[in-house]
Amino acid sequence: MPTDDPTPDQRPRERSRIDASLPISVADLFTIGIGPSSSHTVGPMRAAHAFMAEVAATGRAPAGLRVELFGSLALTGHGHATDSAILLGLAGEKPETVDPAAIPALLAAIRANGRIETISGPVPFDEARDLIFRKGEFLEGHSNAIRFAAELAGGGRIEREYHSIGGGAIVAVGAAPGLRGHNIVQRHPFSSAAEMLSVGEETGLSIAAIVARNEEAWRPRAETEALLDRIAAAMMGSIDRGMGEEGLLPGGLKVKRRARAIHAKLRTQPPEQQYARVFEWVSLFALAVNEENAAGGRVVTAPTNGAAGVIPAVIRYYLDFIPGADAGGVRGFLLTASAIGFLYKKRASISAAEMGCQGEVGVACSMAAAGLAAVLGGSNAQIENAAEIGMEHNLGLTCDPIGGLVQIPCIERNTMGAVKAINAAYLALQGDGRHVVSLDAVIETMRQTGEDMQSRYKETSLGGLAVNVVEC
């Protein structure tokens, strides 16, 4: 396997980033989808679906389709099921609604018949010819790039380039900007941790309350609470399903699912020993989610699929081990964590293809630390400190998945992130909120570190464990 880092002219020179001036909603940060990757599975599926909707809007049936994958999508797309995601998206499926159990049959039909049943009608599709992995080629704009082309019946052609920018979010290059965000006026906007803390000082509101009021720009308070409850239920569901499954994960590495056996063993411990084994339980919760993600199951991007186990595990810790924990506390946890996630999306990136795993597990750890500090009674300053600690000790974390699969080291890395988040929260609560390194400074440091990090360590499987461990 080649290990040379792409030359500077091969790397993206401009980034498709979130416009820091536009507001972000909780619904943009936490989305219910499928595994194994938000940027390599969820984003490409959404892009393919969006492209076919654009084709359908012409009123003309497509006579042929062609898809090209670039950068990290090409290098690790097979391991991340990007090929399957593209086929499903072209066939009209969405990550939020597709039935994971139905996916194998849907894909088998496409591949056996050599055609895709699109919303505009059946289209011939030879996967070997029409879905091309441009390995080693990086487009300007982003490391996760997709080009679609449709030949229209009777002549004409539509082309579109999409960037999958992390967390399942996509950007259509050259498309007219949508209205989402442009006509939203939040009550307490903030684009930095300093601004967030200033709003809290001026209003007397907690970080969770600030976000809750801002969410009213999108929907009534009751609808936001219902959304948060659905997100939390989906997170807990992924833990429970993961603890109930066994067998080998797909992909060829022969990774055995461990969560069910660990759960059975922990349940045999006497009640008086449960609190002594708390980190074993937390690790189990994270392990269960990420095994479910690796199997292509239903998970919540939090803020990505590769880091989907950290926040659910810390929420489950709160529910199972903190007296007085309730649904209201979980909402406050998610709102607080969202505030921190907004800052990373606005000021850096949550894409491992840009930042390495510090942008996924590191960000999730930071978010979870803030959420836990909040529900444990922390002040806004202590919450900001917890978030800073959570990231400070993940700086430089690389993304080097073996075989391009979201399994090794990704699954265990989530257990580390969850335990580290709990530690960060309690460390912050021991102080008064004053600390040397600000959250804004650590986010900027993460961004600079990600920019300096060689591409081989950013979800390309060209370096690190991916090339130093022999695949079995």
For residues 341 and 412, membership in a common domain is answered with: yes
User: What is the structure's pLDDT at 174?
Assistant: 83
Residue 293 CA to residue 309 CA, distance in Å, equals: 9
For residues 157 and 198, membership in a common domain is answered with: no
For residues 168 and 197, membership in a common domain is answered with: no
Burial status of residue 220 (CB atoms within 10 A of its CB: 0-12, 13-18, 19 or more)? exposed
- For residue 121, the tally of other CB atoms under 10 A from its CB is 12
Q: What total of structural domains would you count in the chain?
A: 2
For residues 292 and 167, membership in a common domain is answered with: no
For residues 167 and 200, membership in a common domain is answered with: no
For residues 132 and 235, membership in a common domain is answered with: no
User: What is the structure's pLDDT at 347?
Assistant: 97
User: What is the structure's pLDDT at 352?
Assistant: 95
For residues 150 and 209, membership in a common domain is answered with: no
Assigned domain for 468 exists: no
Q: How far from each other are the two terminal CA atoms of the chain, in whole angstroms?
A: 15
CATH code at 139? 3.30.1330.90
Q: Give me the tens of pLDDT residue by residue for the chain, a chain 472 residues long.
A: 344 444 433 444 445 455 667 899 999 999 999 999 999 999 999 999 999 999 999 999 899 999 999 999 999 999 999 999 999 999 999 999 999 999 999 999 999 999 999 999 999 999 999 999 999 899 988 999 999 999 998 899 999 999 999 999 999 998 765 545 557 899 999 999 999 999 999 999 999 999 999 999 999 999 999 999 999 999 999 999 999 999 999 999 999 999 999 999 999 988 878 778 999 999 999 999 999 999 999 999 999 999 999 999 999 999 999 999 999 999 999 999 999 999 999 999 999 999 999 999 999 999 999 999 999 999 999 999 999 999 999 999 999 999 999 999 999 999 999 999 999 999 999 999 999 999 999 999 999 999 999 999 999 999 999 999 865 4
For residues 153 and 282, membership in a common domain is answered with: no
Using the 3D structure, point to which of 122, 143, 172 is the last residue of a domain: 172
Assigned domain for 166 exists: yes
Assigned domain for 430 exists: yes
Assigned domain for 397 exists: yes
**Residue-number span of the structural domain to which 59 is assigned:** 37-172
Assigned domain for 47 exists: yes
Assigned domain for 181 exists: no
Quote the longest CA-to-CA distance of the chain.
74
Assigned domain for 68 exists: yes
For residues 201 and 345, membership in a common domain is answered with: yes
For residues 57 and 200, membership in a common domain is answered with: no
Assigned domain for 121 exists: yes
CATH code at 269? 1.10.4100
Using the 3D structure, point to which of 139, 172, 205 is the last residue of a domain: 172
User: What is the structure's pLDDT at 14?
Assistant: 43
Report the C-alpha dihedral over residues 422, 424, 425, 428, rounded to 10 degrees: 160
Residue 450 CA to residue 355 CA, distance in Å, equals: 4
For residues 107 and 206, membership in a common domain is answered with: no
For residues 277 and 366, membership in a common domain is answered with: yes
Task: Say which amino acid occupies 265.
Answer: K
